[in-house]
Structure 1
Amino acid sequence: MRIASAVMISLVLLATACATRETGPTTSSSGAQLPPSPFLEANQCALDEEKKLAGEPEAQDLDPELSAEPSDLSGELTAEEREALKNEPEIQFQLTVTENEAFAKYFHFFTAKDKDGNPGKGRKAFELWLERSQQFLPYVRQVFRERGLPEDLVFLPFAESGYNAWAYSRAGAAGMWQFMPFTGRKFGLTVDWWSDERRDPYKATHAAADYLTVLHNMFGDWYLALAAYNAGEGRISRALRKSGTDNFFDLAKDRRLLALETRDYVPKFLAIIKIVKNLESLGFKPLNWNEAPQLETVEVQGGTDLLAMSTSCDIDWKQFQTLNPSFRRHVSNPEQKCTVYLPADKLTAVNDYLSKPNARPYAGWLSYRVRSGDSWWALSRRFDTPIAVLKKLNNISSNTLRPGEHLMIPGKGGAKYAAAKYSEPTPARAKTQAIAQKRANYVVQTGDTLWDIAQHHNVSLNTLRRANGLSSGKNLSVGQRLYIPDTGGVKQRIEEQSDGNRLVTHKVRRGDTLWDIARRYNVSPQRLMTWNNLNKRSVIRPGDKLKVYVE
């Protein structure tokens, strides 16, 4: 699906609460398909404490210039600034410079230079926002045009986040459009441990268009709708009832009804519109509306190793995150499909990767061997992963961990978890792999590791690697076929181990584990598994019967 617009590294975010939306893929008037924006329910393993989202290494504070208040601003308007104020935007002004001091001060703050002609801190910030916005403004404008919304609203993220997709406010709002978690979910954005779609520039734009439409229908006035976007529709409705007025500017005169941030929000936004309508006359570089890269959307299955996938098409993890800021892990949510945005020239490589499950290295996963003293709680804290997620990924229901067993843990963005790229096999190794495929006598199961398979079949790890032309055991995937040498000898050794011993059939009871059963009969857990064709990942259930050879 082609996206005729931009990837948003930065997006503007707002904070409030409202109704649900459910939209499928949309098509522009030109026939170009836009990214799908399906309604996705929040994962059951979502963080309860939403502010923890802002603790990620990628999370960024809002630019301080966004919180500047009129009382902090000073200076007189220049002749160029006064001339720019004569042009009217699509949302018509109802006030002049003399009628609203906050508007004039914001306008001057974002355009002013010092006496030497150097840009002030407000102007520097505005120049940065202009540069950020060019990647995604074409897409946002396309969506708002198709929704029949005033095009001036595409500049609202300037007031929210400076078009920064990674921005988080201290209150917990996130993304370009600064949605609070509750509001984001109500408008179809997933916010959980796996991803934060408030940071998805495309889906969040659809959600913002939906929310703004709801607010305008509710109040019948764009100024009140904008105030509600900032403060919440409930607060604006209550303020209107108390004041007896029906317009924003009369409402803003009473300091008891609205917070200063909300009273200044509309004047600040109107000042931003004035500036972007007069960039060249004010000495700014004009916006380039043709800078958006051509991207493709790819739907991937749940549990996809995103790090390995990006590596397969020669995209490093930092670049992948720039294109897909919503992902919070190296692995996608195992319980739902997800959308990935990639450059058009990478589509073939990614589709080739996704079509070959045997080619999926688990670069985005960590393999952890349980140590004495470990607990689910301790591992959850160590790897910043909910206990429920760890259990589900490893298909374990027990609350007890056994030293020596291996757990798979999804990696998180960061250098210490990044895996090296995988090189092509040498000709000799490729030949060995081809022979092993012809002689394959084992299919990799969920939870298998090369070490488990070697232990189960009584062959050394190195022997198993050499027999299959593997450089390591990290590249195993479910369904992969392996050649295990000397399987006949394995059966013979089992017979030798049991020779002269008495066979006992043990019926598994509730609470039994392989370790408990082995200790009860004074045999090793490894022998118990070998006798019953089990491995360390095997699950035993009450009523199962196990063979045990005792002296």
Structure 2
Amino acid sequence: MHITPSTAPPAALTTPAPSPAERARPTLRRAVRLALGLAFALAPVHALAEPQNDALPLAPGTQLVPPGPGSPAVAPLETDPGQRRAIRGCEVEDNCRGHALTGLREFELEAFGPGPGEPGLPWLDDPYGHERASRGRGVARARTVARPSELRPDLPWLDELELPDLPVRWHERVIRYLEFYKDDPRGRNIMRAWLRRQGRFRALIVERLRRAGLPEDLLYVAMIESSYDPHTRSRVGAGGLWQFMPAGGRIYGLWIDRWIDERSDPVRSTEAACLYFADLYQRFGDWHLALAAYNAGYGAILRSVTRYNTNDYWRLLEYENALPWGTSLYVSKTMAAAIVGRNRAFFGFEDIDEAEPMRWDEVSVPKSVPLGAIARAAGASVEVIQELNPQLHRKRTPPTMSGYVMRVPAGSGPLFATRYPQLRGDWDRYDAYVVAHGERIEDIATVHGISRRKLMSLNGIEHESEIAGGMVLVVPRLSDEDKAKNRAEAEEDLYSSGVPPAVDDELMLVAVPDRDAHIPGKRRVFYRVVTGDSMSQVAHAFGVSLRDLALWNDLGAGAHLHPRMVLQAFVDQDWDGNSAEGAPVALLDDSRLLVVTRGSEEHIALMEQRIGRERIIYTPEKPESFETIGRKFGLDSRDMARINSRPHDTVVEPGEEVVVYKVVDKERSPRAADQAKAKRRSEARRKRGKSKN
């Protein structure tokens, strides 16, 4: 399902987002939704009919509210009114055409339009339309006929079919799909699998469609979109039963982050799809165009309507470049699926062994509860809980939302309410933690008294590059005293792991292009790069341009950053230390840094001092090769070549100066220890050589 760009700015964009402590949902959700909402939009749906009284019984799922830990209250979808207005073509609360005009139009059709005809019979193509359709073209002109078999005399059974509550246009493509599902083994296998899976969700979807006053046979859109698999993902990123793209899902109130993706939630995504269908129909006033827009995006269909000056979907099929290829088949495919569903026995699908329908009780649980604890309290397996809650991606409830409504097997609500408090020790020991930009995962783990590997496992993280500023992690609950103690330990590790590492109370050495750099009206801050950082991400966190950040640090804007690099940035004096999204930025403490000019003699001398070596100038009294000079200090000719940027076979003339690194403390680093050992071996060989002479 596609959502096309909207030029109408959504009103919701002017509403400031609450802080993380004030809202149940993640800090970045609204900001990301609003940013994406400017670039994407959906499409409006229809004038709603009253639900039928003789409909199927309501789908199970909300009939039981057990007295568990908090009464379950499902929050309504928080849709984006601005984007919905763009889709509908009017305010969300309004009927875009107006009740008076609708009544007038109905009167005009009754009084001056074509005869009423037989209820449910569609407009049909001309008798030769199917021949042109078989060549990839539509029809030349449409006319009204009494019976569908007038279009295809060779298929008299068309006259006997029960039609869906969606309007059907007897196009050759619809008939070809019907023949495929009726006679082709491939089509029969596909339809049999679809109808089998439909059993799990049919009651749920039909009940929501009726509640919204929508045609029940929109049920078959989910068949075409996802094969009734809530876990399916398209190659372009659409997901769930109704194949919402992330931006479209957010417009219609679906919560999408690394913990939860409500596009996979059969209940919430169906409610969002109902809103989308209603908006699309409100925009187009025609179900064929609305369905085409569901597939291609409402903007694409509007452009075709205006380009070819027709609001007849079937006419658009005739014209070159009017519709995407998939969209040109989509409506026919959906119509055919709905017809088969209404005529199972005729098509030979009356014996389908359908999947068990979703049945559940709803319970309210706190944040960060493992699904294992919920399963034990409900007397079910983790797999069953996951099947009922496919929107949860990390095997626990979201860490930012208390009172999260979960589904447990039907009838287990009272058991859950009794057993859940008894299992408090299994779940009431975690908190949510918002990662700061530049914060190392090992520091987060240390502060919360947990190993790095355990922290990653707890949060379903496979590689530390997945961690980014603003991300919400689950961490063990500790006292403030313990966290303060652990934080001090983490900071010592941070500042002692610079390049090169410091010991005792030595300051972290930071090399910049100019240690005395200054920009009037700005203050300089320092940021340590962590795995996964990019120049653009760091620049965005500081609210500066990528070009400026690269210039201040003399870096290539397109090159990768690497962990343990330290960047300087010049920010406004009143900058609050948070990114544009409100996530904190982890800055280094200026008082614990020793800033030097990169590549200066001071910089080189301090680096060598940190690893137990001293930078000295050596002047030979007679010609000496790099190899000879190096052996005196435990270096080889290539070490000398690297230090002095000269060839390794260089011969130094008397009076010429070269730089040498001399070991002064072999205990300071492995490099110094190895060099001292090499010097001893060289001296031993020299002594043995003298003794032989």
Shorter-chain TM range is 0.5 to 0.7
TM-score (ref. length: structure 2): 0.45
* Other structure's SS at 2:314 match: helix
Q: Give the aligned partner of residue 90 of structure 1.
A: 165
Q: 2:2 aligns with which of 12, 15, 29?
A: 15
- Does 2:77 correspond to 1:39? yes
Counterpart code for 1:348: P
CA distance in 1, matches of 2:167, 2:421: 53
Counterpart code for 1:110: Y
Counterpart code for 1:205: T
Q: Give the aligned partner of residue 347 of structure 1.
A: 413
Q: Give the aligned partner of residue 5 of structure 1.
A: none
Structure 2 vs 1, CA of residues 278 and 392 (structure 1 numbering), >3 Å: closer, same or farther?
same
Structure 2 vs 1, CA of residues 403 and 15 (structure 1 numbering), >3 Å: closer, same or farther?
closer
Structure 2 vs 1, CA of residues 199 and 167 (structure 1 numbering), >3 Å: closer, same or farther?
same
Q: 2:434 aligns with which of 366, 387, 392?
A: 392
Cα shift at 1:349: 3.7
The answer to whether the 8 A contact 1:165-1:199 is kept is yes
The answer to whether the 8 A contact 2:367-2:400 is kept is yes
The answer to whether the 8 A contact 2:368-2:397 is kept is yes
Cα shift at 1:413: 7.8
Q: Give the aligned partner of residue 282 of structure 1.
A: 347
Q: Give the aligned partner of residue 142 of structure 1.
A: 207
Structure 1 unpaired stretches of 5+ = 1-13, 22-26, 43-68, 114-119, 366-388, 415-443, 457-507, 523-540, 543-551
Cα shift at 1:292: 2.7
The answer to whether the 8 A contact 2:79-2:252 is kept is no
The answer to whether the 8 A contact 2:52-2:210 is kept is no
Structure 2 vs 1, CA of residues 314 and 354 (structure 1 numbering), >3 Å: closer, same or farther?
closer
Structure 2 vs 1, CA of residues 230 and 398 (structure 1 numbering), >3 Å: closer, same or farther?
closer
The answer to whether the 8 A contact 1:165-1:200 is kept is yes
Counterpart code for 1:18: L
Cα shift at 1:323: 1.2
Structure 2 vs 1, CA of residues 181 and 356 (structure 1 numbering), >3 Å: closer, same or farther?
same
Q: Give the aligned partner of residue 180 of structure 2.
A: 109
Q: Give the aligned partner of residue 225 of structure 1.
A: 290
Structure 2 vs 1, CA of residues 363 and 112 (structure 1 numbering), >3 Å: closer, same or farther?
farther
Within a 5 Å distance, the mapping from 1:258-407 to structure 2 comes to 258-285=323-350, 291-337=356-402, 338-356=404-422, 358-360=424-426, 392=434, 398-399=439-440, 401=442, 405=446, 406-407=451-452
CA distance in 1, matches of 2:219, 2:445: 55
CA distance in 2, matches of 1:81, 1:318: 48
Cα shift at 1:78: 12
Counterpart code for 2:442: L
* Other structure's SS at 2:344 match: coil
Counterpart code for 2:414: T
CA distance in 2, matches of 1:346, 1:159: 33
CA distance in 1, matches of 2:76, 2:353: 30
CA distance in 2, matches of 1:123, 1:445: 53
Counterpart code for 1:150: P
RMSD, aligned CA: 4.7
The answer to whether the 8 A contact 1:81-1:108 is kept is no
The answer to whether the 8 A contact 2:252-2:275 is kept is yes
The answer to whether the 8 A contact 1:70-1:105 is kept is no
Cα shift at 1:108: 1.7
CA distance in 2, matches of 1:200, 1:404: 32
Q: Give the aligned partner of residue 322 of structure 2.
A: 257
Structure 2 vs 1, CA of residues 254 and 516 (structure 1 numbering), >3 Å: closer, same or farther?
closer
The answer to whether the 8 A contact 2:363-2:408 is kept is yes
Counterpart code for 1:108: E
Structure 1 residues 414-472: Cα deviation after superposition (integer angstroms, max 9, x where no partner): 9xxxxxxxxxxxxxxxxxxxxxxxxxxxxx98237xxx89xx9xxxxxxxxxxxxxxxx
CA distance in 2, matches of 1:28, 1:311: 40
- Does 2:478 correspond to 1:447? yes
Structure 1 residues 71-101: Cα deviation after superposition (integer angstroms, max 9, x where no partner): 99xxxx9988834764332223232xxxx33
The answer to whether the 8 A contact 1:230-1:265 is kept is yes
Cα shift at 1:153: 1.1
The answer to whether the 8 A contact 2:373-2:423 is kept is no
CA distance in 2, matches of 1:345, 1:413: 31
The answer to whether the 8 A contact 2:197-2:355 is kept is no
Structure 2 vs 1, CA of residues 94 and 101 (structure 1 numbering), >3 Å: closer, same or farther?
closer
Cα shift at 1:189: 0.7
Within a 5 Å distance, the mapping from 1:65-80 to structure 2 comes to none
Cα shift at 1:358: 3.8
CA distance in 1, matches of 2:356, 2:444: 55
* Other structure's SS at 2:383 match: helix
* Other structure's SS at 1:298 match: strand
Q: 2:302 aligns with which of 234, 237, 243?
A: 237
Structure 2 vs 1, CA of residues 186 and 80 (structure 1 numbering), >3 Å: closer, same or farther?
same
Query: What is the percentage of aligned positions where both structures have the same residue?
Result: 26
Cα shift at 1:299: 2.2
CA distance in 1, matches of 2:227, 2:250: 23
* Other structure's SS at 1:237 match: helix
Counterpart code for 1:160: E
Q: Give the aligned partner of residue 424 of structure 1.
A: none
Cα shift at 1:159: 1.3
The answer to whether the 8 A contact 1:173-1:181 is kept is yes
The answer to whether the 8 A contact 1:39-1:189 is kept is yes
Cα shift at 1:521: 7.7
Q: Which moved more, 1:272-281 or 1:213-222?
A: 272-281
Structure 1 residues 176-217: Cα deviation after superposition (integer angstroms, max 9, x where no partner): 111111101110111211111111000011001000000000
Structure 2 unpaired stretches of 5+ = 4-40, 46-50, 64-72, 81-132, 137-151, 462-474, 497-501, 507-587, 590-693
CA distance in 1, matches of 2:397, 2:52: 29
* Other structure's SS at 1:111 match: helix
CA distance in 2, matches of 1:403, 1:132: 44
The answer to whether the 8 A contact 2:43-2:297 is kept is no
The answer to whether the 8 A contact 1:84-1:278 is kept is no
Structure 2 vs 1, CA of residues 20 and 296 (structure 1 numbering), >3 Å: closer, same or farther?
farther
Structure 2 vs 1, CA of residues 397 and 290 (structure 1 numbering), >3 Å: closer, same or farther?
closer
Higher relative contact order (CA 8 A, sep 6+): 1
The answer to whether the 8 A contact 2:378-2:409 is kept is no
Structure 2 vs 1, CA of residues 83 and 147 (structure 1 numbering), >3 Å: closer, same or farther?
same
